[in-house]
A and B are shown apart, each in its own frame.
Chain A
Amino acid sequence: MFHLILFLFFGAICVAGAVNLLVQSHPINSALSLIVVMGSLAAEYLLLGAEFLAAIQVIVYAGAIMVLFLITIMLLNAGKEERTKGSRVAILIGVPGVIIASVLVAWTLVGRTSTTHLVSIGALWGAPKDIARLLFHDFLLPFEVTSVLILIAIMGAVVLASRPEAIARPHRSRPVPQETCELVVTGKDR
């Protein structure tokens, strides 16, 4: 019972954070509410018994990725977003789409009569040893392929981020711009 109350509590925080993420007009506030979502998700994992997953969720998402988000927002010094009245596409297709999707999800959940496929609170096995066996024994090939994929993505990001001239001629000193030369000359003349 106590677990159920906690579960509902963190679920409510999670949804509130997600809504706040969309409503807030300042990017920093949105990023912070995303952190709240991540944190409450970690609490939900913890309640389900997946301790390792919860810790990884906090370390990787809340502790590392969101910090990079935050630094980027701070560096760009992004201001408040401008409010628009919303696009017609969103109203015509988006809103009915969301309603249909949520009805489908609700119908599947309610229509399920047997409880054999549901996970009860605290019943999930998520010990580090079990996860390690799954990752490095049962699903070794997908794991390794994913790591190669991430490596390729990193290399792609490095190539895209660095300027093409810097790759072509790394040791060439920067030429003095034409305008500065002229300014110097005129300065001497006077």
Chain B
Amino acid sequence: MVFVLLTAVAYSVWLERKVSAHIQNRWGPTRVGPFGLLQPLADGVKFIFKEDLTQPHVYKPLYIAAPIIAVVFAISSIAVIPFGNWVDIGPWGTYLQITDLNIGLLVVLGITSMGVYGVALAGWSSNSKYALLGGLRASAQMISYEVSLGLSLVGVLIVTGSLSLREIVEAQRHLHWNILFQPVAFFIYLISAYAETNRTPFDLPEAESELVAGYHTEYSAMKFAMFFMAEYANMVTVACLATLMFFGGWLGPVFGPQILQMVLPVIWFCLKVFFFMFLYVWVRWTLPRFRYDQLMAFGWKVLLPLAVANIVVTALVVAWRA
């Protein structure tokens, strides 16, 4: 499972480079393998064999721990994400999910909220101005947008009445996708998810033109790659969550022989997640960056009241219909 996720992470980097190239009327990676498909492999090998520079002025224990923290929390949240329905393999059967907790959603939110530490500690322990500024920006931004991210999901929870990701998906059968009932919540979720993963138009923590590279300025080789992996793994998690909460997860038309019936839900799930990954890249190469005060004002003065209003309206409607 971790292997699948890491491969997905590597190929989302490839996707990003390829799509961005085509948006800018270029070719992107073409040299390694057909369509440059082996490029992530080559990148990985290069990252591992590169010289690992450690600046003399860093605070070493935290400097080394920070990328590890970032990657561990980014990857472990995949444990509660269900990616398919019940399957029978010979005499055994299983749900396509590592663990099914009845508070699955809260676990994902908890783990992603811990991911801030990787970024913040990297910024601080590097002991340089750009890194510190980037780290502070990142943590401030992630905390403020996490509030509206969490509140936007409350509307969905009121409608479905469960915290288990599997039950939330099951409640959306027969095309009763939550996006139809909670469009406002979906857009709040989408915007705050972009801010939460530090992607354009909210990529101020690593704004190249003013902060060099932000919190990972002082990192090189595999440690730098670990921050990259954490960012893309977070993107995958957020895309999975959007699919599960608003777009019916693995639900879709299922037909044909039994083996096809088992595989199709996984394919629907992957297609939906792929759509969100593509949307990420698309938005990144379309929109310019926010200014920092605009970012904070937008988060606290627009998104947060909107999310609260959405909860109140949803609760009233549910109470009125009950």
Is chain B found bound to chain A in the same assembly? yes
A interface residues, Cβ below 8 angstroms from B: 28, 32, 35, 51-52, 55-56, 58-59, 62-64, 67-68, 70-71, 74-75, 127-128
Q: Are B62 and A28 in contact (CB under 8 A)?
A: yes
Q: Are B120 and A70 in contact (CB under 8 A)?
A: yes
Is the C-beta of B136 less than 8 angstroms from some C-beta in chain A? yes
Is the C-beta of B316 less than 8 angstroms from some C-beta in chain A? no
6 example contacts (A-B, Cβ-Cβ < 8 A) are as follows: A35-B117, A58-B114, A62-B114, A63-B113, A71-B120, A128-B163
Q: Are B110 and A67 in contact (CB under 8 A)?
A: no
Is the C-beta of B94 less than 8 angstroms from some C-beta in chain A? no
Q: Nearest CB to that of A70 among chain B residues?
A: B120
Is the C-beta of B116 less than 8 angstroms from some C-beta in chain A? yes
Known: A51-B101, A51-B102, A63-B116. Is A74-B107 also a contact (CB below 8 A)?
no
Q: Are B120 and A67 in contact (CB under 8 A)?
A: yes
Q: Nearest CB to that of B132 among chain A residues?
A: A74
Residues on A with beta carbons closer than 8 Å to the beta carbon of B313: none
Residues on B with beta carbons closer than 8 Å to the beta carbon of A52: 103, 106
Q: Are A59 and B113 in contact (CB under 8 A)?
A: yes
A56 to B113, CA, bound (A): 11
A71 to B163, CA, bound (A): 31
Is the C-beta of B98 less than 8 angstroms from some C-beta in chain A? no
Q: Nearest CB to that of B125 among chain A residues?
A: A28
Q: Are B143 and A64 in contact (CB under 8 A)?
A: yes
Residues on A with beta carbons closer than 8 Å to the beta carbon of B140: 71
Question: Given A28-B62, A52-B103, A58-B110, 13 other A-B contacts at CB below 8 A?
Answer: A32-B62, A32-B121, A51-B102, A55-B109, A58-B111, A59-B109, A59-B150, A62-B114, A63-B113, A67-B143, A68-B143, A74-B132, A128-B102
Q: Are A67 and B116 in contact (CB under 8 A)?
A: yes
Residues on B with beta carbons closer than 8 Å to the beta carbon of A70: 117, 120-121, 124, 139
Known: A28-B124, A58-B113, A62-B114. Is A71-B106 also a contact (CB below 8 A)?
no
Give the contacting residue for B114; candidates A63, A68, A75, A128; CB below 8 A.
Answer: A63
Is the C-beta of B214 less than 8 angstroms from some C-beta in chain A? no
Q: Are B124 and A67 in contact (CB under 8 A)?
A: no
Residues on B with beta carbons closer than 8 Å to the beta carbon of A62: 110, 113-114
- Which residues of B from 47 to 105 have beta carbons under 8 Å from A? 62, 101-103
Residues on B with beta carbons closer than 8 Å to the beta carbon of A68: 143
Q: How many A-B residue pairs have CB under 8 A?
A: 62
Q: Are B113 and A74 in contact (CB under 8 A)?
A: no
Give the contacting residue for B110; candidates A63, A74, A127; CB below 8 A.
Answer: A63
Of the four ranges (under 10, 10 to 19, 20 to 34, 35 or more), the interface on chain B belongs to 20 to 34
Residues on B with beta carbons closer than 8 Å to the beta carbon of A32: 62, 121
A75 to B120, CA, bound (A): 11
| Whole-angstrom distance between the Cβ of B82 and the nearest chain A Cβ | 17
Q: Nearest CB to that of A56 among chain B residues?
A: B106
A74 to B101, CA, bound (A): 36
Q: Are A55 and B136 in contact (CB under 8 A)?
A: no
Q: Nearest CB to that of A73 among chain B residues?
A: B124
| Whole-angstrom distance between the Cβ of A49 and the nearest chain B Cβ | 12
Known: A28-B124, A51-B103. Is A71-B113 also a contact (CB below 8 A)?
no
Q: Are B113 and A128 in contact (CB under 8 A)?
A: no
A63 to B143, CA, bound (A): 9
Q: Are B136 and A71 in contact (CB under 8 A)?
A: yes
Residues on A with beta carbons closer than 8 Å to the beta carbon of B103: 51-52, 55, 128
Q: Are A71 and B139 in contact (CB under 8 A)?
A: yes
Is the C-beta of B265 less than 8 angstroms from some C-beta in chain A? no
| Whole-angstrom distance between the Cβ of A66 and the nearest chain B Cβ | 8
A127 to B103, CA, bound (A): 9
Is the C-beta of B135 less than 8 angstroms from some C-beta in chain A? yes
Residues on B with beta carbons closer than 8 Å to the beta carbon of A64: 113, 143, 146
Residues on A with beta carbons closer than 8 Å to the beta carbon of B139: 67, 70-71
A13 to B273, CA, bound (A): 38
The 7 closest A-B pairs by CB, nearest first: A63-B113, A55-B106, A58-B110, A59-B110, A74-B124, A51-B103, A55-B110
A64 to B145, CA, bound (A): 12
- Which residues of B from 191 to 232 have beta carbons under 8 Å from A? none
| Whole-angstrom distance between the Cβ of B52 and the nearest chain A Cβ | 23
A32 to B114, CA, bound (A): 12
- Which residues of B from 123 to 156 have beta carbons under 8 Å from A? 123-124, 132, 135-136, 139-140, 143, 146, 150
